[in-house]
Chains A and B, each alone.
Chain A
Amino acid sequence: MSNQFIYLSILAASVGTYFCRAFGVFSARNIKTDSEIFHWIRCVSIAIISAVIARIILFPVGILSETSTSIRIVCTLILLVVYFSFKKNVIFAVSSSAICFVLLNHFL
């Protein structure tokens, strides 16, 4: 892989990503916050994010795919249990889950 190809790849990735954002601004030009479409698009947005998270946990690509599915599921459950047990403390929940993830990957 040449340096020039990597720079062109970054450009292609940037254009592809910014297109999604810019087209979103363009598409929203006539949408009002009290309209039906606004509430529908909110549901779609959050459903897509939820779908992305589920996919990352169960079918990850990249370095997370080096870890076992059962460890990822256990640490996700730890996150949720800690979050709801400790007054929805985000830092405590995320750090507990991440620390358990590192430890389980190390020892199992």
Chain B
Amino acid sequence: MFSSQSFKDGVKHAIGVPALGLGSSMFAFGAFLHSAGFDLYQSFLSTFFTFALPGQFVMAETILAGGTLLNIFLAVLLTNSRLYPMTVNITPVIRNSNIPKWKEYLGAHFIAVTSWFNFFAVEKSINQEDKFDYFFGLGGFLWANSVLCTVAGYLFSNLVSHEILIGLVFINPMYFLVMTVSNLKEKKLICSIFLGAVLSILLNDLFPGWSVLIAGITSGTLGYFIFRKEINE
């Protein structure tokens, strides 16, 4: 059963800081595509179908560097592979027997760092049967807002200086960082966060393309096993 109230609550949650944090960087991405010679439809389609900013930047830069389609596919797959564990993590939480499978696969398109963090920030206060619709409203709004902001960035890029655009791109990692440190509550998450950051820096020269994945899997596994006895809140 679709709960329009939960959907609306999810949309309300997205309006404000989450939409601003992600939208500002999508605006900068749209402006970047304009300056790189892409057209408006291509900018629109990129966010409409991908909705994962680091991978979108990698796609655009691989095109500009003269990469092949296979290069682009593999580079984006590797960059956006973080979405796999995030989806495995959130799917059992929002699952409910009334939700058809196709809707689960559709909702997966809205999984991104911003929607993931914001959903988990309030997840415990939402009834189980309402969680999917809440996430659908939250993630769906962030996605629609991102598409609009990409198009706005493309159209109005001439009105914004290059320095401001760089500042807008910087907002996204800063917002991610704030959301991450807001999770410094459980020991296993604290350990995973610190180890993940340190290892990815240390491994960057050794495995430039793989450092994030290797660091994330190693750190998450260590954090989990070291503090396995900790009560899961």
Contacts and interface: CB of A to CB of B under 8 A. Distances in A.
Interface in B94-117: 95, 104-105, 108-109, 111, 113, 116
Contact of A10 (B37, B46, B74, B164): B46
Interface residues of B, number: 98
B178 interface: yes
B208 to A, nearest CB: 8
Nearest to B28: A63
B164 A102 contact: yes
Given A9-B69, A55-B211, A62-B57, A101 B167 contact: yes
A78 to B, nearest CB: 9
If over half of A's interface residues share one DSSP class (helix, strand or loop), that class is named, otherwise mixed; here it is helix
A18 B73 CA distance: 11
Given A21-B108, A46-B196, A13 B178 contact: no
Interface residues of A, number: 75
A28 B107 CA distance: 14
A47 B196 contact: yes
A65 to B, nearest CB: 10
B77 interface: yes
Contact of A54 (B57, B95, B197): B197
Interface string B201-223: 10010000001110111111101
B4 interface: no
B189 interface: yes
Contact of B50 (A13, A24, A50): A13
Given A17-B55, A55-B204, A94-B174, A49 B180 contact: yes
Interface in B154-205: 162-171, 173-178, 180-183, 188-189, 192-201, 204
A9 B167 contact: no
B84 A6 contact: no
Closest 10 CB pairs of A and B: A24-B87, A48-B216, A44-B220, A47-B196, A51-B200, A28-B91, A14-B49, A50-B196, A47-B220, A102-B167
Interface of B: 17, 20-21, 28, 32, 37-39, 42, 45-46, 49-52, 54-59, 61-64, 69, 72-74, 76-77, 80-89, 91-93, 95, 104-105, 108-109, 111, 113, 116, 162-171, 173-178, 180-183, 188-189, 192-201, 204, 211-213, 215-221, 223-224, 232
